[in-house]
Chains A and B, each alone.
Chain A
Amino acid sequence: GQNIDQPTEMTATEGAIVQINCTYQTSGFNGLFWYQQHAGEAPTFLSYNVLDGLEEKGRFSSFLSRSKGYSYLLLKELQMKDSASYLCAVLDSNYQLIWGAGTKLIIKP
């Protein structure tokens, strides 16, 4: 079967750095997405990786290793507004999105 694994919950301190990991086992791979979802709101797009390496976008960076079936989302200079769930999703060989259950990130002052 297809599987996306992410930690259920993480806690970090305002101003610090946090890395949210995502491992996947899917039938084929056509890209990996990260979405942010604040409580009670819709998911919003953060990043897309299809090639190995690091993609940087402001305070957020996303890394992909296709050979290891692994990605991480790196958040720097954490702010209270970063408290949210972070969803990892893989586009499989049929171009269907397979979603992880999400990582709830709690930021403490």
Chain B
Amino acid sequence: NAGVTQTPKFQVLKTGQSMTLQCAQDMNHEYMSWYRQDPGMGLRLIHYSVGAGITDQGEVPNGYNVSRSTTEDFPLRLLSAAPSQTSVYFCASSQGGTASGANVLTFGAGSRLTVL
């Protein structure tokens, strides 16, 4: 059981370049989300999805785009990378949507992105 798979693990971009972080889960989870983790700060929600075809913005959505065409996949696109987007990105999924109390998240291994 693979759980949540993220690729790539490491990426270096130049300012202005675009890229896609891939996320796939094989647990049939309805809820998927993208977080960024920066030193000295809590995880911050970028975008989330409560099911295929449904996406919504989190706390820090600017500069990022998502889509959810299938239950399994939830890619995160950086449209024009900026140094402020240097961070570690985590994809996470859960069985229930955000309206279910015990919203236990399963995280991917993370993607470390550096924007020069």
Interface residues of A (CB under 8 A from B): 4, 8, 30-31, 33, 35, 40-45, 48, 50, 87, 89, 91, 94-102
Contact = CB atoms under 8 A, between A and B. Distances in A.
Contacts of A102: 42
A99 B90 CA distance: 14
A21 to B, nearest CB: 15
Contacts, number: 57
Interface residues of B, number: 22
Which secondary structure dominates chain B's binding surface?
A: loop
B75 interface: no
Given A4-B42, A42-B90, A87-B43, A97 B107 contact: no
B2 interface: no
A50 B42 contact: no
